[in-house]
Amino acid sequence: MTRLIIVAEGQTEREFVLHVLAPHLAAHGVYASATIVGKLHAQRRSHRSRGGGHFGAWRKDIERLLGQRDAGCYVTTLFDLYGLPDDFPAAPHLRAASSHDRAAALEQALAQVFSEDRRFIPYLQLHEFEALVLAALPQLRDQLDDAASRAGVDQLVEELAGQEPEEINDSPETAPSKRLLRAVPGYRKSLHGPEALRAATLAVVRARCPRFDRWLTRLEQLGALAAV
């Protein structure tokens, strides 16, 4: 049996893993669970429901998970490229790179931190988790009851026509999450985001988010490796 622990940044990503990714991966022989990075550190500081924080705490979490000496247990990340901690490996040196190049280089730097363990699979989402939600706007609209929120989704569909969700940028004003929160007053990220993605199906999201698709393909293949 192949086990996979997905280290996520927050509750929204955790819900997505548990209710969308885990059932899909189980069909490939990969049994996924999720944990929120930095949560233990946050709890010690009385922030019980929050993760995040500095990379030093993230590193300790990942090291602890990899310390489970089970050859069939892999660890991967689901971190946003947008808003990484300032002490993230190589982050100060990559501000001028293109988003795709920066994400790839930061993943390589993260892999280097844990280079002695083949079970670690780094992944950064361009530019943040909500890019996936932008790939499922019709399904998001179906989750909303109030007219203003549904009209806001329609506005986003028109505004983003022709743009790929993963290309939508990391500006403090126009990042995917900022667009959703500004246009859709009834949007509740940990509720509506995962539900919209579940309704859209992973096939639809993967077709519009090729970087995410490549990561998910790699995770699916872990089940085949266990069978060899």
Same-domain pairing of 79 and 55: yes
Same-domain pairing of 177 and 164: yes
* Cβ density class 31-57: b for 16+ within 10 Å, e for less: ebebbbbbbebbeeeeeeebbbbebeb
Same-domain pairing of 37 and 115: yes
- pLDDT value, residue 225: 77
Look up residue 97 and give its DSSP letter: S
The total number of structural domains that make up the chain: 2
Same-domain pairing of 17 and 112: yes
Same-domain pairing of 24 and 114: yes
Is-contact 212 134, C-beta < 8 A? no
Same-domain pairing of 6 and 118: yes
Task: Residue 83: give the domain boundaries.
Answer: 2-128+210-227
Give, to the nearest 10 degrees, the angle between helix 147-159 and helix 176-183.
140
- pLDDT value, residue 50: 43
Q: What is the pLDDT along the chain (228 residues), one digit of tens a residue?
A: 899 999 999 999 999 999 999 999 999 999 999 999 987 555 444 444 444 589 999 999 999 999 976 888 999 999 999 989 999 999 877 776 789 999 999 999 999 999 999 999 999 999 999 999 999 999 999 999 999 999 999 999 999 999 999 999 888 889 999 999 999 999 999 999 999 999 999 999 999 999 999 999 999 999 987 665
- pLDDT value, residue 228: 54
